[in-house]
A and B are shown apart, each in its own frame.
Chain A
Amino acid sequence: MKRSILFWLSLALLVVALYLIFGYAPIEQTMGIVQKIFYLMVPMGWLALLSFLTVFVGSILYLKTKAPKWDILAYSAAEVGLVFTTLALVSGSIWAKPVWGVWWTWEPRLTATLVLWLIYLAYFMVRSFTAEESRGATFAAIVGIVGFIDIPIIALATTLWRGMHPGAVIFKGGLAPPMLLTLLVSLAAFTVLYSFILRQRISLRNDEIEIKKMKGL
């Protein structure tokens, strides 16, 4: 029953993180209370990257071994990753409104995240447009590999293309210790939550495949 441990641990950590965000971390001078989104947005971005790293590794292992378990891992991670990427985009745009006065700005990291989101959307499209299950898995794995390798190039291109992100300034040693602690706890809480959701999704996917087999044969 390791899953229930993960569940309760993530719940406890999330409560602690919430307390730290609203009760402990100081209010930022220039951006005010809005800056609190930062503690949510950074974990979302991190989990999006972690998911796509998982997709990448799972995809390579699937192409190498053709063992369905790796495809199940990659598929589940891609789905959870797409959710977190969406949340990163949404929280980023909520932050952009009070800071820049617009919901959307073609700021490098937001732009790169949007491109990523589109690539992983294609990951699912390829799968649904392929007739055979195993072929779809192979094609999706290729998209997963190409997409992940593309991430640093996209990040580099969009950064050169536009100016700096406030996040980058914050990371340059400008983050006050209480803020850093809050961020780290928030990161930890969401990472545990992520591993819980991922495990849940994997077992769900296993059941789905089981049911499909029973129906088909």
Chain B
Amino acid sequence: MRFWGKVITITWKDTLSEIRTKEIISSVLVFTLLVIVIFNFAFAANREIMKLVAPGILWATFAFAGVLSLNRSFVPEKEQGCLEGLMLCPVGREVIYVGKMLGSLLFMLVIEMIALPIFTFLFNLPVLSLQMVTIALLATIGFVSVGTLFAALAVNTKARELVLPVLFLPVVVPVIIGAVEASRLALAGEPWSRLTSWLGIIAAFDVIFLVVSYLVFPFVIEE
């Protein structure tokens, strides 16, 4: 119980600073909208093509948005010396990982909750369904599990904004493949049983990388 209390404190700190600055959610939302609009030009959308490429657009957008918001989760900490403060706290480094990870998860989910209806509206697709929400939740957990680890790593390198996507995108390829394929099936109105193998892959990724990141995170921010 003590562990979760500390974790929630860190998550709450991030949430509070986000509520006050609205930095991540507002900027990433605008970015998301822009990417969707640009993809729309890229595929010169007619209805039939859109149906084929929509899942790809959706997850490419969320992957890029994820990179952006994960980067922001550690950059201000580093710039304002907050990371040192966090490390001085009498909590384990794992606690910092779980706290930051939950914060990023929360922001990503809020962004997706706003972006999905926009997507539905712009592309005339039934994106809002229980299946899609499940896929989004699982895939987002996958994104933030390794994303938080890599963001903490990237912020300690010379080219912060560059290192995160280079690390993050190849590693989350299984999540992107799984999410795109599962969304394609969900949008085609397939039953849950067709989705299970894809959801299984994403869920396995989530569990494995939550554990691995939890274990190696202390090495990233050691002095």
20 contacts between A and B (CB under 8 A): A63-B216, A115-B170, A118-B169, A118-B170, A122-B166, A126-B167, A129-B159, A130-B158, A139-B156, A141-B219, A146-B209, A149-B208, A149-B209, A150-B171, A153-B204, A156-B201, A157-B177, A157-B178, A157-B201, A160-B201
> Which A-chain residue is minimally distant from B166 (CB atoms)?
A122
A131: CB under 8 A from chain B? yes
Q: Which residues of A contact B220 (CB under 8 A)?
A: 138-139, 142
A154 touches B158 (CB 8 A): no
**53-92 of chain B: CB within 8 A of chain A:** none
Query: What number of A residues sit within 8 Å (CB to CB) of B?
Result: 29
> Which A-chain residue is minimally distant from B169 (CB atoms)?
A118
> Which A-chain residue is minimally distant from B222 (CB atoms)?
A138
Q: Which residues of A contact B149 (CB under 8 A)?
A: 142, 146
**2-53 of chain B: CB within 8 A of chain A:** none
Indicate the size class of the contact surface on chain B.
20 to 34
**131-175 of chain A: CB within 8 A of chain B:** 131, 135, 138-139, 141-143, 145-147, 149-150, 153-154, 156-158, 160-161
Q: Which residues of B contact A157 (CB under 8 A)?
A: 173-174, 177-178, 201
**Interface of A toward B, CB cutoff 8 Å:** 63, 115, 118-119, 121-122, 125-126, 129-131, 135, 138-139, 141-143, 145-147, 149-150, 153-154, 156-158, 160-161
Q: Which residues of A contact B201 (CB under 8 A)?
A: 153, 156-157, 160
Q: Which residues of A contact B146 (CB under 8 A)?
A: 146
A129 touches B212 (CB 8 A): no
Known: A122-B166, A135-B156. A63 touches B219 (CB 8 A): yes
**Interface of B toward A, CB cutoff 8 Å:** 146, 149, 153, 156-159, 162-163, 166-167, 169-171, 173-174, 177-178, 181, 197-198, 201, 204-205, 208-209, 212-213, 216, 219-220, 222
A89 vs chain B, min Cβ distance (A): 14
B146 vs chain A, min Cβ distance (A): 6
Q: How many A-B contacts at CB < 8 Å in the complex?
A: 79
Contacts A125-B167, A126-B163, A146-B209 known; list 15 others, CB within 8 Å: A118-B169, A121-B166, A125-B163, A126-B153, A130-B157, A135-B156, A142-B219, A146-B146, A146-B171, A146-B212, A147-B171, A153-B205, A158-B177, A160-B197, A161-B177
Q: Which residues of B contact A156 (CB under 8 A)?
A: 174, 201
Chain A contact surface mostly: helix
A96 vs chain B, min Cβ distance (A): 20
A146 vs chain B, min Cβ distance (A): 6
> Which A-chain residue is minimally distant from B163 (CB atoms)?
A129
Q: Closest 10 CB pairs between A and B?
A: A157-B174, A118-B170, A129-B157, A153-B174, A157-B177, A119-B170, A129-B158, A122-B167, A122-B166, A115-B173
